[in-house]
A = this chain, B = another copy of it.
């Protein structure tokens, strides 16, 4: 079973009573909870722990890292971000949630601004499945409906995703590519849009199912990092004149 580390900034929970009440053990705790129920070994790590909770020991023992951040992207140390990036290239899966689109790690792996439109207006979101054969959509109906969410709208400034799995409809008139996969090195990356801190999104059974599916999909395969650098020929190379 995959070992998952759920990383959370954990600032809204402390600063906003509404969020603290909604997620009493933090967004990380809520997510680790349903992952544990699903049979994974799920730990947590947060911004204010030493090394943000992402020590070498933790990272090396993590198959899939989940990332939620919003207020304090700038407080995440560059060295930690670079270690996470190396682990992704080495094969660790990465699931970036909601406002994590602006995290250092996601922007670094994408190479783009990762910017988007947004609006907080208690808005209905409907996530349509556009890739019905994909394991991340397993067990989900034709769409997931969330009564109230923050809106994220296009253009979403990411590279064209390898696979587009969900696209969101918003009440206020926008659409958004809300479930996108990417590969980077030996690692798989999944971006999943929902999860504004003031809504009970991570208690929604369909949202939980998607995250569970994504962990299964993103866990590393058994294969070493390729050999790079100067290489001996595998075949004889003919001598040539000048």
A residues adjacent to B (C-beta < 8 A): 85, 89, 91, 108-113, 115-119, 121-124, 126, 128-135, 137-140, 142, 147-148, 151, 153-157, 159-160, 162-164, 167-175, 177, 182-188, 220-223, 225-235, 237-240
Q: Do B140 and A223 have beta carbons less than 8 Å apart?
A: yes
Q: Which label, helix, strand, loop or mixed, suits the secondary structure of the A interface?
A: loop
A24 shortest CB reach to chain B, Å? 18
Q: Do B234 and A174 have beta carbons less than 8 Å apart?
A: yes
Q: A133-B91, A167-B167 are in contact. Are A183 and B160 (CB under 8 A)?
A: yes
Q: Do B172 and A119 have beta carbons less than 8 Å apart?
A: no
- A5 and B122 CA atoms in complex are apart in Å by 48
Tell me which residues across on chain B come within 8 A of A116, comparing CB atoms.
228
> Whose C-beta in chain B lies nearest to the C-beta of A109?
B111
Tell me which residues across on chain B come within 8 A of A229, comparing CB atoms.
115, 117-118
